[in-house]
Structure 1
Amino acid sequence: MTEKIKVIVVDDESRLRRGIEKLIRSNGEEWEIVGSYATGQSCLDDVVKLDLPFDVLFTDVKMPLMSGLELLTRLNERVSKSYYAVIISGYDDFEFIQKAMREGALDYLLKPIDRLEMQVCLDKINAKFHKNEVLSEPESKNISIEIATQWIHEHLHESLTIEKIAGKVFMNATYFSEYFKRKTGETVLDYITKNRMEKAITLLKTTNMKIYEISLATGYTDTKYFSKLFKKHYGMLPSQIRHGE
């Protein structure tokens, strides 16, 4: 007997969830829906408490209480078995999530879900499954961290808060802050400061920008405060670096 591909579907929109399940079932008897959930928390509870076996997870990104990315993060902390995760999003800014995905780590579908795109997605999973390829290695795929750090790098010139960054990965700010520290070994604030200082010294050495311009370009409206942080980080003032002292 052919081993069935066990699937979990998580989406707070019941109509969309049923539609996904219908598309999966129409693909053949080898596909089995083992879990259907309206919330990330209910999915997490069953997977952990019931030791629910699954090979594929379809999850919406934006859901109340626990987002799809937070669900993946929490599952990756508790599930040792590899699985294939497919993210569903209806957001225009989904491009930054796509760019942050490592090749082969995830697939994605944009709302409204196109039947042909769904078929391609299922065919790809099916091929990997029956070739006994590792679908994904969850613990090595720190998806939320990759997305957050990429976003930070692109917005160092802006006013950054943990709440704003956590919102970009659809996670609770407190949980995201703790998770970031656990995975990177540094706080979000320390990470931001380090990267701002690295950007600052690069600009000092490679451009003719004035100190106050570099301060603004690295997210600091107060030039004196910027210089104080810079000296704390490098042991020298920006002006000393500029003049080669």
Structure 2
Amino acid sequence: MYRILIVDDEPMIRKGLEKLVEQSELPIAQIRVAENGVDALEQIRNDRPDFLFTDIRMPKMDGLELCSKLTELEFTANMQIVVISGYSDFEYAQKCLSYGVKEYLLKPINKKVIHDVLRKLIANTSKQTKTSVSVFKLDGWAEQTEDAIWTLQLGKINELLHTFRQQCSAHQLTISQLCDLLDECYALLIKKLNTRDVFAFISGLRFHGVETEEEAWHTFEAAIMDIFNELKQKRKGKAKDPVEEAKLYIEEHLAREVSLEEVADYIGLNASYFSQLFKQTTQETFVQYRIRRRMEKAKKLLEIPHYRITDISNEVGYADHPHFTKTFKKYTGCLPSEFRHKLGIE
């Protein structure tokens, strides 16, 4: 997914370009706009786009000055720049080329021109990704990780992931380049696992909607953990549902404060991955689910006349009785005593 910044001092032109980019149906995750070079430079420093479309003539800082300043910044080295100008002067085009500008377009521009340029930029980005990290390094990492997964060495897997992340960070990849690289790496890993011809693994990594580096790594690392746990379950001969195991563990320990990390450790999953898996499966966070189960158990106990409310509070894991009554009211709309009163229990 690619991020674009459009810079032009004319609101109508900015809006028009934005619309043309949206109509391309290409994998564009984000389109931002700026009205001059100063605004654009600040935005780029805060969040570098993959592609920059800029006008030449603008107040405060024009397009040429913006391009010049960007050449001084190391982290913009892989950013691709397109200049859109109403001037066909060769001198402008020559200066743009000296600043590493990829395309110099003359106004007015149409949908086809923009879409063709976008496809070219995306193709260039793909080439840059493949040359930024050597194939030899990728293959070496995939081979080591495949061996660690096959031998179920969780510590070694985490170590390899940490090292790989550091190596990729050194290349200062754009978000789209990083996603392409991780996707390629994951496919290579699956291929190596499948060559053992024991279990069949399916490559289904998706980076749809990923907008930050952290999200990309989280998706990749979660997918690796998924493979690890799938293999672990296949080796046991019968696959257990980790979420159902977690639910059972929570149910058995409602009387005390069970943490997400404790449950994740019990079922043998990475805490971050378990949190994401639990939310996707139940449509609730770990904490939301635990509170709901506690309140449902409290309601059943409140239906038993001889149970004191303070005892029920402790039974469902609330040593702080006022906290229990507050939570119960938030969940049911009434206090525990009011709940009993409705049932005719005094």
TM-score, length-scaled by structure 1: 0.50
Counterpart check, 1:174 vs 2:272 = yes
**Identity of paired residues, percent?**
31
Aligned-partner residue type, residue 156 of structure 1:
L
Aligned partners of 1:157, 1:188: CA distance in 2, in Å?
16
Higher relative contact order (CA 8 A, sep 6+): 1
How far 1:244 moved relative to its partner? 1.8
Aligned-partner residue type, residue 204 of structure 1:
L
Match of 1:48 in 2: 190
Match of 2:226 in 1: 74
1:51-130 correspondence to structure 2 within 5 Å: 52=194, 54-56=197-199, 74-75=226-227, 85-87=234-236, 106-107=237-238
Match of 2:151 in 1: 37
How far 1:172 moved relative to its partner? 1.9
Counterpart check, 1:195 vs 2:293 = yes
Aligned in 2, Cα 1:184/1:73: closer, same or farther, shift over 3 Å? farther
The superposition leaves residues 20-40 of structure 1 with CA deviations (integer Å, 9 ceiling, x where unpaired) of xxxxxxxxxxxxxxx953535
The superposition leaves residues 82-113 of structure 1 with CA deviations (integer Å, 9 ceiling, x where unpaired) of x98123xxxxxxxxxxxxxxxxxx44xxxxxx
- Residue 231 of structure 1: SS of its match in structure 2? helix
Aligned in 2, Cα 1:50/1:56: closer, same or farther, shift over 3 Å? closer
Aligned partners of 2:244, 2:313: CA distance in 1, in Å?
26
Larger radius of gyration: 2
- 5+ long unaligned stretches in structure 1: 1-9, 13-34, 58-69, 88-105, 108-140
Aligned in 2, Cα 1:71/1:151: closer, same or farther, shift over 3 Å? farther
The superposition leaves residues 94-135 of structure 1 with CA deviations (integer Å, 9 ceiling, x where unpaired) of xxxxxxxxxxxx44xxxxxxxxxxxxxxxxxxxxxxxxxxxx
How far 1:212 moved relative to its partner? 0.8
Match of 1:148 in 2: 246
Contact 1:56 1:84 survives alignment (8 Å): no
Contact 1:55 1:84 survives alignment (8 Å): no
Q: What is the total number of aligned residue pairs between the two structures?
A: 147
- 5+ long unaligned stretches in structure 2: 1-145, 161-184, 201-221
Aligned partners of 2:335, 2:313: CA distance in 1, in Å?
12
Aligned in 2, Cα 1:144/1:36: closer, same or farther, shift over 3 Å? closer
Contact 2:233 2:240 survives alignment (8 Å): no
Q: CA RMSD in A?
A: 3.7
Aligned partners of 1:73, 1:38: CA distance in 2, in Å?
11
Aligned partners of 1:214, 1:74: CA distance in 2, in Å?
39
TM-score, length-scaled by structure 2: 0.37
Contact 1:73 1:144 survives alignment (8 Å): no
Please identify which structure carries the higher helix content.
2
Contact 2:294 2:316 survives alignment (8 Å): yes
Match of 2:64 in 1: none
Aligned partners of 1:161, 1:236: CA distance in 2, in Å?
27
